[in-house]
Amino acid sequence: MDASSLDELSARLGIIPREPELIRQAFVHSSFFNENPALAAGHNERLEFYGDAVIGVAVSRLLFVSYPDDDEGSLTARRAALVNRDALAEMALSIGLDRYLRLGRGETEAGGAARPSVLAACFEALAGALSLSEGTERTETVMAHLFAPRLASLALNPGAPKSAKSQLQEWTQRYRGVKPIYHLVDTTGPPHDQRFRVTVVIDGTAFGLGLGSSRQRAEEQAAQAALIGLPEVLDGLAQEPAL
């Protein structure tokens, strides 16, 4: 990212970066760094890890304030609709982050700049870089501004699909009086490409197994497996009025 691109992005975000190199690093894909280690200080995977938590806190606070009457399950569903991979990829495209990505030759030829996983990771890395460069308060202001249109859209579409975890939790609390418990079975792969395997347990019985590149994604997969194994879950949620 050259100086003019950084200035353009900074103006769009409403910041004057105190640590511009951190912002630049958010756009360095591991494929670029592996091919050109002398051209970048590092890639964006560590920033992506940190940014995932930054976004989670910022969006959770925004929803907590915006929906004072929602219970935990409803807030969780709203957050899932805002911060899932595809939603973050759309956010990245909406502010033009794809234009600044630095990808390796193979990743570029494979269309990496349009891949939702790459775009979502870049947005998470940018959030992490902003937090480290500008501080928590300023970053939450930026995140609130970016998410505001999607939050408004969510409010106008209360029937938006809920995450599998939210659907499963609604059913278990309503009919079993318990919450599903997610157990990490194991983690495999190198630090930069880990795979998480998670099982979901309902009232002492394992109902679903999930695999994903993060624990959160593995838990979502496990919840989906449980819903498939318990068709009455969806039937119950569709037929029973909310309590």
Angstrom distance (rounded) from CA 220 to CA 216: 6
71 counts as catalytic: no
| Coil vs helix vs strand at 177 | coil
Active-site residue among 45, 48, 107, 124? 124
Residue 143, classified by CB atoms within 10 Å of its CB into exposed (0-12), middle (13-18) or buried (19+), is: buried
Q: Which residue has the tokens 């353009």?
A: 8
CA–CA distance, 45 with 29 (Å, rounded to integer): 8
The SS3 call for residue 180 is coil
What's the token pair of residue 96? Answer: 């033009």
Provide the residue type at 238 as one letter.
A
User: Could you tell me whether strands 205-212 and 195-202 are parallel, antiparallel, or unpaired per DSSP bridges?
Assistant: antiparallel
Angstrom distance (rounded) from CA 128 to CA 117: 16
H/E stretch holding 46: helix 45-66
Active-site residue among 45, 48, 52, 220?
A: 52
Which SS3 state, helix, strand or coil, does residue 195 take? Answer: strand
The catalytic residue positions are 52, 124
